[in-house]
């Protein structure tokens, strides 16, 4: 039984929970994949920490389900994240215990400065310093500004989280197909469906381009 662990880290209002829900919904009708996960909701209304974990147990062809081999904890063990999606640079540093050299890290570079920076004048870390720390944990780091990509394409930041799902699909580590996620978006998102599908493709293409450049 193969296991795939995905963690999404961000702050309130960025769509971390929506991403986690979509990544679980997409496999609910797949008898060969068992999924579990949880959310840390923090002070979501005040741009507090909001994280999601998604854990897949995937049956190999011909394999029968064995309860003892499946994922039971909703928390990802230290070093066991296969994909680590950070929706905000500083938040990418808070849960690095789940990251190892096998982890594909996707970093959204758009900074949301906390009140300590806005009001008190505290320094926000340099983006390159954050990237360097991430690369010390895993060589597989891709950086994109999903907020700006969403603003340029749609006039707002609301599709950033869907773009980052597209990027996760492009890692080729997810146990789901691109078409599965398209279908899930059509079934579960009730507004701007075509724009969300476009955002999914933009994130997928941006990741692939970054890996080949």
Neighbours of 106 (CB within 10 A): 29
Hey, what are 185's tokens?
């978006």
Hey, what are 162's tokens?
């869907």
What integer is the mean pLDDT of 102-128? 82
Mean pLDDT taken over the chain: 91
E strand intervals along 59-155: 83-86, 104-108, 141-144
Tens-digit pLDDT profile for residues 134-160: 999 999 999 999 999 999 999 999 999
Confidence of residue 70 (pLDDT cuts 50, 70, 90): confident
Residue 197 is part of a domain; what is its CATH number?
3.40.920.10
Tens-digit pLDDT profile for residues 200-212: 999 999 999 999 9
Please give the residue range of the domain that contains residue 123.
2-212
DSSP secondary structure of 91-103: GGGTTGGG--TTP
Interior/surface letters 147-160, b for 16+ CB within 10 angstroms, e for the rest: bebbbeebeebbbb
E strand intervals along 59-174: 83-86, 104-108, 141-144
Tens-digit pLDDT profile for residues 7-44: 999 988 888 999 999 999 999 999 999 999 998 876 54
Q: What is the dihedral of CA 131, 134, 139, 142, to 10 degrees?
A: -50
How high is the pLDDT of residue 44? 45
**Number of residues that make up the chain:** 213
Tens-digit pLDDT profile for residues 5-16: 999 999 888 889
Cβ proximity of 25 and 101 under 8 Å: no
Confidence of residue 120 (pLDDT cuts 50, 70, 90): low
Please state the φ and ψ torsions of residue 57, each to the nearest 5 degrees.
-115, 120
- pTM reported for the whole predicted model: 0.93
How high is the pLDDT of residue 123? 83
Spatial separation of the C-alpha atoms in residues 82 and 4, rounded to whole Å: 6
- Total of domains in the chain: 1
How high is the pLDDT of residue 53? 97
């Amino acid at each position: 039984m193969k296991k795939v662990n995905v963690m999404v880290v961000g702050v309130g209002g960025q769509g971390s929970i929506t991403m986690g829900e979509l990544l679980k919904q997409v496999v609910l009708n797949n008898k060969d994949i068992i999924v579990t996960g949880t959310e840390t909701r923090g002070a979501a209304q005040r741009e507090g920490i909001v994280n999601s974990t998604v854990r897949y147990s995937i049956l190999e062809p011909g394999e029968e389900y064995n309860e003892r081999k499946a994922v039971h904890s909703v928390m990802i063990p230290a070093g066991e994240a296969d994909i680590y999606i950070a929706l905000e640079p500083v938040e990418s540093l808070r849960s690095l215990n789940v990251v190892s050299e096998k982890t594909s890290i996707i970093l959204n570079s758009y900074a949301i400065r906390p009140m300590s920076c806005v009001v008190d004048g505290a320094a926000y870390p340099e983006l390159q310093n954050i990237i360097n720390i991430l690369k010390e944990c895993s060589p597989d780091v891709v950086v994109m500004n999903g907020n700006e990509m969403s603003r340029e394409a749609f006039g707002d930041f609301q599709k950033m989280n869907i773009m980052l799902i597209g990027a996760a699909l492009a890692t080729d580590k997810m146990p789901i197909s691109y078409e599965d996620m398209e279908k899930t978006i059509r079934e579960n998102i009730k507004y701007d469906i075509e724009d969300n599908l476009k955002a999914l493709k933009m994130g997928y293409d941006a990741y692939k381009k970054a890996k080949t450049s």
